[in-house]
Amino acid sequence: QRRFTVGRRLQRPLAPQRDMAVVGGGAEEVPACGGHDGESLEELLPLEYTRPATLIGFHAVVVPKSLGGDLLKLLGARCPLGPELLHLKRVRLAPEAASASLQVLMCPASGEVPAEVSDFLSARCPGSERSIVQVPEHGALTREQLVDFCRVWPLTFRKPSWEPLVLTDRQRDLYRRLLERALEVGGGRCGCVVADRSGREIAAAADESGPHPLRHAVMVAIERVAGAHLSGAAETKAGASKRPRSEEEYLCQDCDVV
């Protein structure tokens, strides 16, 4: 389910839920909604989807390209990158150096370079330039983050299973209408509307937490969805192989809660 609020962005949830807010400005303007002139819908993303790059130190060495393959094999055996660092590419062209040189990540700066690696460099590339470089601690979850993080060090982008939602014009119109309906139902209090996948309203409710602390708008709306189901909007056919539509609505499957 996707949840929507009317107002400025205050915080981002820590779990990947579909939260949206009406925020001011931006290129994707929508008509006024419930008195919020010049504001548009924007998804409230988990913090990890919008955070800037946080950096950690890494031991690095500059070596000739001809030596890169052998060094990478040794590093893979003696100091492989842990699962939390697999977003890092281990090699890049050495900055401010001849094109025949590579800069290679060896291990985090919090540890020591393995003796086998140091011995290899001393024997095969004496006088190699070693340094501590800064690299992104976390992988990129969006293309925008990838561009930003790669300015520091090249990364491998692994498309996450959960991606930010891109609203179509039709979806924006639907959610704007549902937001206006929720404002109307709330009547100055918090209002909630439950709609099916087609945008048809199933139930709506206003906050009733005054008499009972658990009867906030969402809980009351869900209760009314159950009530509508029990009232017998449609009957289940005996032996039906597919779940009836009324049962899907009762379970709020594929419903929007605004």
Most confident range, picked from 20-24, 62-66, 246-250:
62-66
Lookup result for tokens 């370079």: 113
Q: Which residues contact 213 (CB under 8 A, 6 or more apart)?
A: none
Which pLDDT score is estimated for 22?
56
Q: Report the amino acid identity of residue 184.
A: E
Give per-residue pLDDT as tens, 99-110: 689 999 999 999
In whole angstroms, give the CA distance from residue 126 to residue 77. Answer: 21
Which pLDDT score is estimated for 48?
92
Lowest average pLDDT, out of 63-77, 88-102, 232-246, goes to 232-246
In whole angstroms, give the CA distance from residue 45 to residue 20. Answer: 8
Model confidence band, residue 206 (pLDDT cutoffs 50, 70, 90): very high
Lowest average pLDDT, out of 164-173, 179-188, 208-217, 223-232, goes to 223-232
Which pLDDT score is estimated for 97?
62
Region of 42 please: left (phi>0), alpha (psi -120 to 50) or beta.
Answer: beta
Q: Using the predicted structure, report yes or no on whether residue 235 has a pLDDT greater than 60.
A: no
Which pLDDT score is estimated for 253?
80
Q: Using the predicted structure, report yes or no on whether residue 119 has a pLDDT greater than 80.
A: yes
Q: Using the predicted structure, report yes or no on whether residue 154 has a pLDDT greater than 80.
A: yes
Which pLDDT score is estimated for 32?
38
Which pLDDT score is estimated for 189?
92
In whole angstroms, give the CA distance from residue 205 to residue 223. Answer: 9
Give per-residue pLDDT as tens, 1-27: 444 444 433 333 334 456 666 555 433
